[in-house]
Protein backbone atom coordinates (compact mmCIF):
# COMPACT_ATOMS: atom_id res chain seq x y z
CA UNK A 1 0.00 0.00 0.00
CA UNK A 2 1.38 3.40 -0.98
CA UNK A 3 1.55 5.95 1.80
CA UNK A 4 0.65 9.51 0.92
CA UNK A 5 1.70 12.34 3.20
CA UNK A 6 -0.56 15.35 3.67
CA UNK A 7 0.94 18.84 3.89
CA UNK A 8 -0.48 20.68 6.91
CA UNK A 9 1.87 23.68 6.75
CA UNK A 10 -0.94 26.20 6.22
CA UNK A 11 -2.48 25.11 9.53
CA UNK A 12 0.69 25.74 11.53
CA UNK A 13 0.52 29.09 13.33
CA UNK A 14 3.83 28.73 15.15
CA UNK A 15 6.59 26.34 16.20
CA UNK A 16 8.37 26.56 19.54
CA UNK A 17 11.36 24.54 20.66
CA UNK A 18 10.50 22.26 23.55
CA UNK A 19 11.54 18.97 25.18
CA UNK A 20 9.96 15.57 24.69
CA UNK A 21 9.50 15.33 28.48
CA UNK A 22 7.03 18.25 28.29
CA UNK A 23 4.82 16.63 25.63
CA UNK A 24 1.38 15.58 26.88
CA UNK A 25 -1.85 14.12 25.50
CA UNK A 26 -3.36 16.30 22.72
CA UNK A 27 -0.10 18.16 22.03
CA UNK A 28 1.01 18.34 18.43
CA UNK A 29 4.76 18.13 18.09
CA UNK A 30 7.26 17.75 15.29
CA UNK A 31 10.70 16.23 15.67
CA UNK A 32 13.60 14.60 13.91
CA UNK A 33 13.51 10.83 14.19
CA UNK A 34 16.79 9.01 13.66
CA UNK A 35 16.14 5.28 13.41
CA UNK A 36 16.74 2.63 10.74
CA UNK A 37 14.24 2.10 7.94
CA UNK A 38 12.06 5.10 8.78
CA UNK A 39 9.92 6.61 6.03
CA UNK A 40 9.07 9.88 7.82
CA UNK A 41 12.24 11.41 9.30
CA UNK A 42 10.43 14.52 10.60
CA UNK A 43 6.99 13.39 11.76
CA UNK A 44 4.31 15.75 13.02
CA UNK A 45 2.37 13.83 15.64
CA UNK A 46 -0.65 14.05 17.93
CA UNK A 47 0.66 12.82 21.29
CA UNK A 48 -1.28 10.05 22.99
CA UNK A 49 1.10 9.06 25.81
CA UNK A 50 4.66 8.49 26.94
CA UNK A 51 5.39 5.15 28.60
CA UNK A 52 8.95 4.60 29.73
CA UNK A 53 11.19 5.10 26.74
CA UNK A 54 8.37 5.10 24.17
CA UNK A 55 6.22 7.92 22.76
CA UNK A 56 2.83 6.69 21.51
CA UNK A 57 1.35 9.04 18.95
CA UNK A 58 -0.64 9.43 15.77
CA UNK A 59 1.36 10.72 12.83
CA UNK A 60 -0.93 13.42 11.46
CA UNK A 61 1.13 13.67 8.28
CA UNK A 62 -0.97 10.74 7.01
CA UNK A 63 -4.36 12.18 8.00
CA UNK A 64 -6.80 14.54 6.34
CA UNK A 65 -7.54 17.77 8.18
CA UNK A 66 -11.07 16.85 9.25
CA UNK A 67 -9.71 13.79 11.08
CA UNK A 68 -7.15 15.94 12.92
CA UNK A 69 -9.94 18.29 13.97
CA UNK A 70 -11.81 15.31 15.43
CA UNK A 71 -8.65 14.19 17.26
CA UNK A 72 -8.25 17.63 18.82
CA UNK A 73 -11.73 17.28 20.33
CA UNK A 74 -10.85 14.01 22.12
CA UNK A 75 -11.00 14.03 25.92
CA UNK A 76 -9.01 10.91 26.82
CA UNK A 77 -6.34 8.83 25.06
CA UNK A 78 -7.82 5.54 26.29
CA UNK A 79 -10.94 5.41 24.13
CA UNK A 80 -10.56 7.63 21.11
CA UNK A 81 -13.91 8.13 19.38
CA UNK A 82 -12.12 8.79 16.10
CA UNK A 83 -9.80 5.76 16.39
CA UNK A 84 -11.23 4.00 13.34
CA UNK A 85 -10.26 7.03 11.22
CA UNK A 86 -6.66 7.23 12.41
CA UNK A 87 -5.58 3.75 13.55
CA UNK A 88 -3.35 3.29 10.49
CA UNK A 89 -1.39 6.42 11.45
CA UNK A 90 -0.66 5.17 15.00
CA UNK A 91 3.07 4.97 15.72
CA UNK A 92 5.36 4.17 18.64
CA UNK A 93 8.61 6.14 18.72
CA UNK A 94 11.70 5.32 20.75
CA UNK A 95 12.41 8.48 22.75
CA UNK A 96 16.19 7.98 22.44
CA UNK A 97 15.88 8.49 18.65
CA UNK A 98 13.93 11.75 18.97
CA UNK A 99 15.66 15.14 18.68
CA UNK A 100 14.87 18.76 17.76
CA UNK A 101 11.38 18.74 19.25
CA UNK A 102 9.02 21.58 18.29
CA UNK A 103 5.65 22.35 19.87
CA UNK A 104 3.16 23.11 17.08
CA UNK A 105 0.35 25.63 17.39
CA UNK A 106 -2.15 24.05 15.00
CA UNK A 107 -5.06 26.07 13.66
CA UNK A 108 -8.28 24.22 12.84
CA UNK A 109 -10.53 25.36 10.00
CA UNK A 110 -13.00 26.94 12.45
CA UNK A 111 -10.17 28.79 14.24
CA UNK A 112 -8.79 30.00 10.89
CA UNK A 113 -12.19 31.30 9.75
CA UNK A 114 -12.64 33.13 13.07
CA UNK A 115 -9.16 34.69 12.90
CA UNK A 116 -9.62 35.85 9.31
CA UNK A 117 -13.03 37.31 10.16
CA UNK A 118 -11.54 39.23 13.10
CA UNK A 119 -8.70 40.53 10.93
CA UNK A 120 -11.18 41.64 8.27
CA UNK A 121 -13.34 43.39 10.89
CA UNK A 122 -10.28 45.21 12.31
CA UNK A 123 -9.34 46.43 8.83
CA UNK A 124 -12.90 47.59 8.24
CA UNK A 125 -12.95 49.51 11.55
CA UNK A 126 -9.57 51.07 10.85
CA UNK A 127 -10.70 52.14 7.37
CA UNK A 128 -13.93 53.62 8.77
CA UNK A 129 -11.94 55.52 11.42
CA UNK A 130 -9.57 56.97 8.80
CA UNK A 131 -12.52 58.15 6.68
CA UNK A 132 -13.99 60.18 9.56
Query: Across the beta sheet with 44-51, what order do the strands follow?
Result: 12-17, 98-106, 28-33, 44-51, 54-59, 90-94
pLDDT higher than 80, residue 125: yes
C-alpha 69 chain-centroid distance: 10
pLDDT at 3: 65
Per-residue pLDDT tens over the stretch 59-110: 998 888 888 888 888 888 877 887 888 888 999 999 999 999 999 988 888 8
Cβ-contact 72, 45 below 8 angstroms: no
Per-residue pLDDT tens over the stretch 14-38: 899 999 999 999 999 999 999 888 8
Q: How confident is residue 50, by pLDDT bands cut at 50, 70 and 90?
A: very high
127: Cα within 13 Å, side-chain hemisphere? 6
Per-residue pLDDT tens over the stretch 1-17: 446 788 778 788 889 99
Residues counted in the chain: 132
Nearest to 23 by CA among 42, 45, 58, 47: 47
Nearest to 32 by CA among 84, 81, 97: 97
Amino acid sequence: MAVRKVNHSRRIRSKKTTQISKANFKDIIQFKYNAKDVYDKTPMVFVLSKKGKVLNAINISYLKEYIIEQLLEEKTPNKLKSWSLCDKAYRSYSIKNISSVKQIEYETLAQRKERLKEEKDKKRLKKAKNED
